[in-house]
Amino acid sequence: MGKYTVKDFKSDQEIRWCPGCGDYAVLAALQRALPKICEMHGIDKEGIVIVSGIGCSSRLPYYMDTYAFHSIHGRPAPIATGIKLSNPRLSVWQISGDGDALAIGGNHFIHAIRRNVDINILLFNNRIYGMTKGQYSPTSKWGAITKTSPYGTVEEPFNPGSLVLGARGTFFARAIDNDLPLCEEVIVGASRHDGTSVVEFRTNCVIFNNGSHKEISDREVRAERTIHLEEGKKMIFGANRDKGLVLDGWKLKVVKIGEDGITEDDILTHNPKEDNLGLQMMLADMNYPDFPVALGIIRDVDAPTYERSVNAQVESVRQKSKITCMDELLHSGSTWTVE
């Protein structure tokens, strides 16, 4: 295995996304992260498999020079699960949009998380169906005007983080498309996790939902309206690094350092390894304008993985079984000779 570069993971296919689409950033981050991931885990490029569903983001496998499977709408999770079960040595990456993963694929999504299959799910969330020309999705804001909600949506949107943690997910991270270093950071972090990792990328759809996340993604406001969580570091944010998060009883509270006797020592320290997900759920639920939106790795805990448990069970049954081949199976029990 030689040392890979970004170029090694770029295919010769023309990228067919709209100019300015947020998906470009996630693609670039993945191509930048994979050389590090291969070196870190000691795997060849041939050990990478990318599985996608249907949607704009699901075109990504064509732009990667890896093994890939472009599946059907909402079904990448069971296919990724099957690949991982059949060959646990592979590094499996699922690419899904908010519609592909959370609408038609919602059932597969939560059960992959519940089972803790060792796959990495990259969730592109632009709060719209882009490929089918602008219908509202499960993450569209309340009141969003779209082609299928001309008077505004009247549905409460999913928060992907809450959904993952509610399914007892073992890894959840979040990034914004215009922060390429953070996108790369969370992808590398997901690769280190043993179990289902879900990374939500807040992406922009310049055609059908331009400014999808502008309330937090615009460079002029991002420092004040988001917080980059890092393990072992204080939960501090703001352009001047003068704001932080504390617990006020059972609730989170934003405070200003230097006011009312608040010092950095009072600010919460982030621990994504804490198995009690109460605080992590509160962090994942934070939303502007009441709170900064949490970015980075929010939860990263250990738990048995599905494929390891299944393969251990199969091996245990095999060792105890008196039947060792198909011929013995066919001639076991009651048999009849038909003349």
Domains of the chain: 6-212 (3.40.50.970)
Structure tokens given for 41 = 């885990």
Distance CA 218, CA 204 (A): 11
pLDDT band at 1 (very low <50, low <70, confident <90, very high): low
Render pLDDT for 10-38 as a digit per residue (tens, 0 to 9): 999 999 999 999 999 999 999 999 999 99
In the chain, the DSSP E strands lie at 48-52, 67-70, 91-97, 120-125, 171-176, 197-202, 226-229, 236-237, 243-248, 251-256, 293-300
Q: Round to the nearest angstrom and report the end-to-end CA distance of the chain.
A: 59
pLDDT band at 265 (very low <50, low <70, confident <90, very high): very high
What mean pLDDT comes out for the span 88-95? Answer: 97
pLDDT band at 208 (very low <50, low <70, confident <90, very high): very high
pLDDT digits (tens, 9 = 90+) for 145-186: 999 999 999 999 999 999 999 999 999 999 999 999 999 999
Reported as a single tens digit per residue, the pLDDT across 109-145 is 999 999 999 999 999 999 999 999 999 999 999 999 9
Average of per-residue pLDDT across 277-305? 97
8 alpha-carbon distance from chain centroid: 24
